[in-house]
Amino acid sequence: MTLMLFWRQPAPWRPLRDSEVASLQAEQLPGVYKEGRWTLQVLKWNQPPPSPTFLGTVLQTGKLDPHYPKVCGHRGNVLDVKWNPFNDFEIASCSEDATIKIWDIPKQLLAKNLTACKKELVGHARRVGLVEWHPTAASILFSSGYDYKVMVWNLDTKEAVIMSPVKTINCHQDVILSMSFNTNGSLLATACKDRKIRVLDPRAGAVLQEASYKGHRANKVLFLGNLKKLLSTGTSRWNNRQMALWDQDDLSVPLAEEDLDGSSGVLFPFYDSDTNMLYVVGKGDGNIRYYEVSTDKPHLNYLTEYRSYNPQKGIGVMPKRGLDVSSCEIFRFYKLITTKSLIEPISMIVPRRSESYQEDIYPPTAGAQPALTAQEWLSGMNKGPVLMSLRPGSELLSPQPLPPERPLSKPRAHTSPRLFNQTEKLASEDGRRPLSLLEERTPCWAAEHRLEEKKTWFTNGFDIFECPPPKTENELLQMFYRQQDEIRRLRELVTQREVQAKQLELEIKNLRMGSERL
């Protein structure tokens, strides 16, 4: 008789992390978005990030009317949709009909189905699978199709139908599965079905680096911010799901590899460059793994994972401008759960006791203003993103073209001119406009005190004197939800203060009793 012994391999030892995000927790936000009929060809893994402007859709949870207006101008199934990072009212979509279309979304939301597009891009010979906006240049769009081509489009033209791209990249031998830009958009990384990862010059179309490592078959590739590294997800030679970390200047051998499990679903990575956090989501899984990325070995430091019994069919990510900084939220997912026909929001929160703004987890982040025009980028210029602060009360960059300057309105009869002078001066300081000579000579402590005093006139980033009254029911609901959040935070603050007051009363009582005994 032959006796076989099976030993369980111990889990690898992982050191305890001591960082700002080591205590990260995932929380399911209250409310879901429910609709009876999901079109799986559209709501798949190439999910667009939600737009922070359309808070009506984000805040109003519940069941969606099946007759709610839609964007339905393509003649085939829609394969990818992306919001313009510099205009919350513009989206790009691609379809099996081999076209890319640019849509203008009305500011008052849709009243009926939108079928007329703003621009149509015609150039691919087969269906178009991916679209990607340039991260720093306005009106530059990239697309990849099943004709193995990557096309660069300049939308800054008067033509409604653009028949030829400004550049066509023909270096791929099979279908492109993934595209990713570095921070300033000077490099483009692609993962192809021919099992190769390429780093390209997007303007010249030249291949700068190419990885044909046989031990890792990549499905998705992602630039990791300013770390000069790439992360790819795919499968190992033993068909285990695997992650690999690469040096963007040398793709011959990966810097690190990590096998996750033996499931068959594709892994999709999401990276937050502000906190160096990496989130890995598997198709058909119910969990979300998160890692902290560092320049030191082992590079990928596993923290923990969010577990759920509901498998995700698709997922979207809220941009940083739409996060709730008052609850220390640093990332938010929207899970598509087809088994229940709903979308579930998942919030990543770093728990903090202090109620003040947390500078360490909210550094200046990419805003909604382009750093370059289309012609500047095409001529060879490179610039990083225009940064903004997420601090409530600070001046936010507009996601849409700025209107022409208009003279300030006259003060109302019941408002003192001094109040308007304070508000106007606060806007200039927060907007980083050069201060006058008198303001430069003011002591720093006096300026800080005056700035804190002026910030009290702002609530959740809105000037209470300049915010116009709601004109539509949707705007009224948005204002209602903001007020409800403010009331909730104030109630929590009052409760905390009451607890502190009771503790102080007990301490005083104990001190008095101790003194009487003596």
pLDDT band at 184 (very low <50, low <70, confident <90, very high): very high
**Position with higher pLDDT, 473 vs 433:** 473
Tell how far CA 512 is from the center of its chain. 55
pLDDT reading at 143 higher than 60: yes
Mean pLDDT for the stretch of residues 130-158: 96
150-154, 326-330, 496-500, range with greatest mean pLDDT: 150-154
Least confident of 47-61, 243-257, 381-395, 452-466: 452-466
Question: Whole-angstrom Cα distance, residue 377 to residue 292?
Answer: 32
> How confident is residue 352, by pLDDT bands cut at 50, 70 and 90?
confident
pLDDT score at 229: 95
Q: What b-and-e string marks burial along 116-136, b requiring 16 or more CB atoms within 10 Å of the CB?
A: ebebebebbeebbbbbbbbbb
C-alpha to C-alpha distance for 325 and 390, rounded to whole angstroms: 7
Whether the pLDDT of residue 13 is over 50: the answer is no
Confidence (pLDDT) at 364:
93
Best mean pLDDT range from 48-57, 368-377, 438-447, 508-517: 368-377
Check pLDDT > 50 for residue 425.
no
Which of 16-25, 50-59, 268-277 tops mean pLDDT?
268-277
Q: Read out DSSP for 207-223?
A: EEEEE--TTEEEEEEEE
Percentage with pLDDT > 90 across the chain: 46
Two tokens, residue 271 = 């990276």
Q: Which of 87-101, 172-186, 350-364 is predicted least confidently?
A: 350-364
Q: What are the CA-CA distances from residue 68 to residues 72, 110, 113, 159, 335 (Å)?
A: 12, 9, 8, 31, 20
Average pLDDT estimate for 450-476: 54
Residues 338-350, mean pLDDT to the nearest whole number: 88
**Residues 391-423: tens digit of each pLDDT:** 887 654 444 444 333 333 343 444 444 433 444
What is the pLDDT averaged over residues 225-244? Answer: 93
Q: What H or E segment, with its residue span, contains residue 455?
A: helix 444-455
**Residues facing 169 on adjacent strands:** 150
Task: Evaluate if residue 224 carries a pLDDT over 90.
Answer: yes
pLDDT at 233: 94
Residues sharing a CB contact under 8 Å with residue 293, sequence separation 6 or more, in sequence order: 224, 227, 229, 231, 271, 276, 277, 278, 299, 300, 301
Q: In what order do the strands lie in the sheet with 277-282?
A: 267-272, 277-282, 288-293, 300-306
At 438, is the pLDDT very low, low, confident or very high (cuts 50, 70, 90)?
Answer: very low
Query: Length of the chain in residues, anyone?
Result: 518
322: left (phi over 0), alpha (psi -120 to 50) or beta: alpha
pTM of model > 0.85:
no
pLDDT at position 7, please? 37
pLDDT beyond 80 at 46: no
Q: Cα separation of 216 and 72, whole Å? A: 39
Tell me the C-alpha distance between 112 and 219, whole Å: 38
Domain extents in the chain:
25-349, 410-467, 473-518
Determine the pLDDT at residue 110. Answer: 82
As assigned by CATH, the class of the 25-349 domain is mainly beta
Q: What is the structure's pLDDT at 421?
A: 44
